Amino acid sequence: MNEHRTTSDTEFQLISFDADLVSRYSGRGPRYTSYPTAVQFTDAFTEAEYREAARASNERGRPLSLYVHIPFCTTLCYYCGCNKIVTRNAARVRDYLDCLYTEITMQAELFDQDRRVEQLHFGGGTPTFLDDKQLCQLMTHLSQAFSLETGPSREFSIEVDPRSVHSESIELLANLGFNRLSLGIQDFDPEVQRAVNRIQSTEDVQNLVNDARKYAYRSVSFDLIYGLPRQSVASFDVTLDQAMAMRPDRLAIYNYAHLPERFKGQRMIHAKDLPTPETKLDILQHTIEKLTDAGYLYIGMDHFALPDDDLVQAKHDGTLQRNFQGYSTHGGLDLVALGVSAIGNIGDTFAQNSVSTIEYETLISKKQLPVKKGLIVDEDDRIRAAAIQDIMCHDGIDYAVFGQQHSVNFSEYFAPELERLADLAEDDLIVITNTAIAVTAKGRLLLRSIAMVFDRYLSTADTNKRFSQAI
Ligand code: SF4
C-alpha cells in the first residue's frame, strides 16, 4: 500500500480554480465509488454466484465492512435523488426491519465467524428515522450475527438527520459503537430550506455537534449542497460561516443536479429559482477559497478535511481508498450489503439487492437472498479500477509501481488512453512524462474527468442521461 506516491502538505494546498476549465469539463460522469459502476450490473448475476463469492472470500479471510440501508424518511426533500420511502406508517417500518433481521442472519451464515467487521455504515434514506429502541435492536442483531470490532481501529459511521435526533440518541449511538457522524446540512439559509422542503435550525445542528464532541466521536462530517434554489454567493457564504464556526472534521460539498424528468420530487423545485451556471461556478470557487483559507485540506472530488483528520493522514501515506461510502481509510475489505437496494462487493463480485421494497421483502420471506443484479469483474476491470483509484485518491499514477502491482506494462496497456489523455495535458489538468501521470492543481478539481478516460464502458453518449454532472 505504501508504494503509492505520498502527498506533501504543499501539494495538498495546490488546488487551483479555473472557471473556464471547470465549465468546459462539467459534462456528466460517474463518481467512481466503484469501477465498474452500478450501471454495468446485470440481472444475469445469480444468488449462486454470490454464495460462491462469499465462500471463496472466506479462504482469503479479509475483514468485513457492512452497509445497512434504512430507506425511510419522514418528509421529502425536493432535491433528493436517493432510494427512499417517505412514510409515517410504523407497521411498514416494522415489516422492513423484520426482513432486514432475517437477511442479516442469512448473510452472516455465509461468512466465517472469525472475520472481524472493521467498518460499518448505516445509510439511507434516514437511519435516524428509527427510534432508539429500533436502533438498539438492529445493532443487537448485527452483533449477534457478525464479529463487530470494538477497538479504536473500527470505523462505524451513521448518516444523521439533525431533524430526527436528540441528545440522548447521540449518546446512545456512541454507546452502540458508532464513532463517526455524517450530518445532512445542505444549507442553513431559511429561504433555501423552504424552497427544498428541509427545515432545520442552525441551533439544532450546533447542539448536535456539541453532543458529538461530548461523547468523543472521532469525526463529524457535514454535507452541503450548492446549486439549490434561492442560493447566491452571498447566501452560501453565510452558510459556510455558520458551518465553519462548528468546525466539522470533514465537509462534503455536493453539486445539485436538477433532473426533474428522473426524480419526481425535483419537479417541486422551480427552475427559475435555480442559480445560473455562472453563479454556481462562483459559489464553488468561493467555497473552495473559503475552506482552504480556514485550514481545510482538499481530499479529492467534493471532500475537504481538517489536517488532523484520518482522511488527511491516509492521503499523506498513500492509503486513501474510494468505495461506496466515498473516501475512506479502510481498504481491502469485503463489503456485505444489507437492506433494499444496497450494493456489496465480495472478492471479484459486485451484488445489488432489489431496489423494490416489495420484492426485497418477498424474496426474504421465501428465504432467498434478495440479490437481483451484479457483476463478476474480469482482469481488465481490475486493472482499470486500480488506475481510476490512483487518479481519484493519489493524484497520479507511477507506471513502474503500477506495473509491479498489476503485472502490466502501463504505457503499453494504456497506450490508447495515454493518447486521449494528451488533450487533458494540453489543458493543464495533468502532466504526462515517460514514467508517470501527475494530476495538476487545476486537475484536482476535475478528477472524475481524468478518471473517465480509463473507463472502457464509457464511450457511449448516454453518459449524460445516467450520471450526475462532474462539478
Ligand atoms: S435527502 Fe435524505 S432525508 Fe431528504 S428525502 Fe432524501 S434521503 Fe430522505
Ligand 1 geometric centre to CA of 75 (Å): 8
Closest approach atom of ligand 1 to CA 76: 5
Ligand 1 geometric centre to CA of 195 (Å): 14
CA 21 to chain centre: 25
Residue 183 pLDDT more than 70?
Answer: yes
Ligand 1 geometric centre to CA of 125 (Å): 5
Predicted confidence at residue 461, as pLDDT, reads 45
Ligand 1 geometric centre to CA of 76 (Å): 6
Ligand 1 geometric centre to CA of 158 (Å): 14
36 cis-preceded (ω within 30 degrees of 0): yes
Residue 464 pLDDT more than 50?
Answer: no
Residue 18: pLDDT band by 50, 70, 90 thresholds? confident
Ligand 1 geometric centre to CA of 87 (Å): 12
Residue 468: pLDDT band by 50, 70, 90 thresholds? low
Exposed e or buried b for every residue in 417-437, given b needs 16+ CB within 10 A?
A: bbeebeebbebebbeeeeebb
- Dihedral over Cα of 108, 116, 70, 356: its sign: negative
List residues near ligand 1 (CB under 6 A): 73, 76-77, 80, 82, 84, 124-126, 161, 184
Residue 24 pLDDT more than 50?
Answer: yes
Residue 15: pLDDT band by 50, 70, 90 thresholds? confident
Report the nearest-CA residue for atom 7 of ligand 1: 125
Ligand 1 geometric centre to CA of 230 (Å): 19
Q: Which residue has better confidence, 301 or 435?
A: 435
Contact between residue 271 and residue 258 where contact means Cβ atoms under 8 Å apart: yes
What would the mean pLDDT of 316-338 be, rounded to a whole number? 90
- 77, 78, 196, 269: residue to mutate for ligand 1 pocket, most atoms within 8 A of CB: 77
Residue 1: pLDDT band by 50, 70, 90 thresholds? very low
- 84, 128, 186: residue to mutate for ligand 1 pocket, most atoms within 8 A of CB: 84
- 69, 75, 82: residue to mutate for ligand 1 pocket, most atoms within 8 A of CB: 82
Contact between residue 316 and residue 6 where contact means Cβ atoms under 8 Å apart: yes
Q: Which residue has better confidence, 70 or 14?
A: 70
Closest approach atom of ligand 1 to CA 198: 4
Ligand 1 geometric centre to CA of 384 (Å): 33
Residue 459: pLDDT band by 50, 70, 90 thresholds? low
d(Cα 376, Cα 350) in Å, to the nearest integer?
A: 7
Closest approach atom of ligand 1 to CA 125: 7
Residue 469: pLDDT band by 50, 70, 90 thresholds? low
What would the mean pLDDT of 356-364 be, rounded to a whole number? 97
> Which domains are seen in the chain, by residue range?
1-36+379-471 (1.10.10.920), 40-334 (3.80.30.20)
Closest approach atom of ligand 1 to CA 80: 6
Report the nearest-CA residue for atom 1 of ligand 1: 80
Predicted confidence at residue 6, as pLDDT, reads 43
Predicted confidence at residue 83, as pLDDT, reads 81
Predicted confidence at residue 463, as pLDDT, reads 47
Single-letter residue type at 48: A
Closest approach atom of ligand 1 to CA 84: 7
Q: Which residue has better confidence, 3 or 360?
A: 360
Ligand 1 geometric centre to CA of 169 (Å): 19
